[in-house]
């Protein structure tokens, strides 16, 4: 793992217009972004439409395509990466459910480790809608879900991104999951 200060420095240089800093940055963060995307795929089954590599590249392009990269810190960058991955996965899920209603779509498997968006497209869309409602109730709880679920970040990494303590993140994670469960299933989760 690259020291956090190196990544933050390169992010800041890239935001000041140094394209060479951006070129040096991507190889340093690639493995961590790939692991973040891979964590999304644990436990996923069914037809596959997007791979970890494609998810990493799309998230990076989404982040680097704007005027500047999220550069407050390494943690801030990876939090923004988790949000970008969420948006990409939801977009894929929406396109997939629309395609199912519109006819045959040829599936292209880009690699062995691919995300099963097809099998859970409707669930992802429902989850995204519930997260939008959760953000209206509590932006903070929504951010915890984005980091932990979509970003695959640990409690400690989420605490760093949200500038909080791990204990607070654990409490917010439990609260957010309970709220989402009730929202998605209309009942209280079993304790």
Domain assignment of residue 191, yes or no: no
pLDDT at 73: 73
pLDDT at 21: 82
- Which stretches in the chain have pLDDT values below 70? 1-4, 40-49, 66-72, 98-121, 187-191
Domain assignment of residue 32, yes or no: yes
Which tokens belong to 38? 């891979």
Phi-psi region at 17: left, alpha or beta (left = phi > 0; alpha = psi -120 to 50): left
Q: How far from the centroid of its chain's Cα atoms is residue 119's Cα?
A: 18
Taking a C-beta distance cutoff of 8 angstroms, is the pair 86, 68 a contact? no
Which tokens belong to 72? 């407050």
Domain assignment of residue 36, yes or no: yes
Domain assignment of residue 169, yes or no: yes
Please give the DSSP secondary-structure letter assigned to residue 17: T
Domain assignment of residue 26, yes or no: yes
The rounded radius of gyration (Å) of the Cα atoms in the chain is 17
45: domain range?
A: 4-185
Domain assignment of residue 190, yes or no: no
Per the structure, the count of domains in the chain is 1
Taking a C-beta distance cutoff of 8 angstroms, is the pair 154, 179 a contact? no
Domain assignment of residue 149, yes or no: yes
Does the predicted TM-score (pTM) go above 0.75?
A: no
Q: How far from the centroid of its chain's Cα atoms is residue 121's Cα?
A: 15
Range list of H helices, 42-138: 52-64, 74-102, 117-137
Taking a C-beta distance cutoff of 8 angstroms, is the pair 82, 70 a contact? no
Closest among 26, 36, 58, 59 to 150, alpha carbons compared = 36
pLDDT at 92: 80
Domain assignment of residue 106, yes or no: yes
pLDDT at 67: 62
Q: What is the pLDDT of residues 143-164, one digit of tens each?
A: 998 888 877 788 998 898 889 9
């Amino acid at each position: 793992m690259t020291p956090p200060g190196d990544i933050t420095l390169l992010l800041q240089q890239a935001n000041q217009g140094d394209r060479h800093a951006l070129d040096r940055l991507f190889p340093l963060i690639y493995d961590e972004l790939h692991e973040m995307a891979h964590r999304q795929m644990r436990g996923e089954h069914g037809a596959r439409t997007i791979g970890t590599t494609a998810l990493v590249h799309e998230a990076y392009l989404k982040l680097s395509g704007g005027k500047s990269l999220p550069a407050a810190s390494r943690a801030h960058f990876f939090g923004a990466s988790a949000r970008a991955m969420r948006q990409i996965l939801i977009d894929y899920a929406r396109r997939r459910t629309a395609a199912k209603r519109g006819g045959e779509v040829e599936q292209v498997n880009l690699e062995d480790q691919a995300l099963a968006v097809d099998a859970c497209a409707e669930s992802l869309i429902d989850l995204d809608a519930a997260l939008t409602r959760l953000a209206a109730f509590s932006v903070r709880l929504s951010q915890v879900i984005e980091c932990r679920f979509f970003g695959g970040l640990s409690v400690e990494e989420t605490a760093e991104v949200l500038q909080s303590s791990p204990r607070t993140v654990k409490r917010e994670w439990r609260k957010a999951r309970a709220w989402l469960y009730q929202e998605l299933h209309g009942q209280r989760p079993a304790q």
